[in-house]
Amino acid sequence: MNRFWTQTFGAMVAVVALAAVSPIQAGFINTLPSWDGFQGERGLGEPSVATFGQTITVGATETFLTDFSFQVATDPTNTSRFQAYVMAWDSVNKVAVGDVLFQSAAITNVGPAAPPSSYNAINVVTNVQLAANREYVLFFSTSKNFDGVNDFARLGSITPDVYSGGTFVYNNNENRFGELSTNPWREGSGGNDSQPVSDLAFTANLIDSPVNPTPAPAGVVLFGLGFAGLGMFRSFRRSKVVA
């Protein structure tokens, strides 16, 4: 292999290797390994406990929340309707503070036609920038989706505490969304106060910065092959001139 081809092949390998590297997601919070797949709290819905959430603590570097998920099981023959939110959290007064940083479109989760109901992950893409070293609350709320039809859902939960950066919180605010910033939320039990709960079964994905689009490895390979082809053509032209 001549010098040109050695350099070209080395450049191709380097570019492909660079494109294959994915963003490091060191801020990934995941309580699911500690969840038994069944434990949950009944009550999210209309007109009962309108809001269930999980507080988290953002670190010094991973401050961009790309998405989060809760495990939801809607009761048989019911349809639960809610929206997902992100707000800053005041752990002293136990209220959400400031503006709504993220609000999803309405989410509808349909329960089975007959028992038993089962949990499924409701994942919400947020892509919101948070502040370093601050607390936030990620939550599902039915407050803006009251339609006069009772509906209930359970959110997967965990006891004892497995995530030190936050806790499970809820609020009986019914259709009064503004009370989430004025009336203290409750901690440590389900909507019907039947058992203590420390955390929800949830995931939250925090990264250093927004993910920037990068060329797919296959596209980079084609670029490299094109570059190599150009080199072959130039080498061929030089050989013809010399001859």
SS3 35: coil
pLDDT tens by residue, 194-235: 556 789 999 999 999 775 544 445 444 444 444 444 454 444
Q: What are phi and psi of 186, to 5 degrees?
A: -100, 155
Give the other-Cβ count within 10 Å of 163's Cβ.
21
pTM for the model: 0.74
pLDDT-above-70 percentage for the chain:
72
Which helix or strand (DSSP H or E) is residue 27 part of? strand 27-30
CATH hierarchy code of domain 27-207 = 2.60.120
Q: Encode pLDDT of 10-21 as tens digits.
A: 444 343 333 333
The angle that helices 217-242 and 3-20 make with each other, rounded to 10 degrees, is 170
Residues shown for the chain: 243
**Residue 242, pLDDT score:** 35
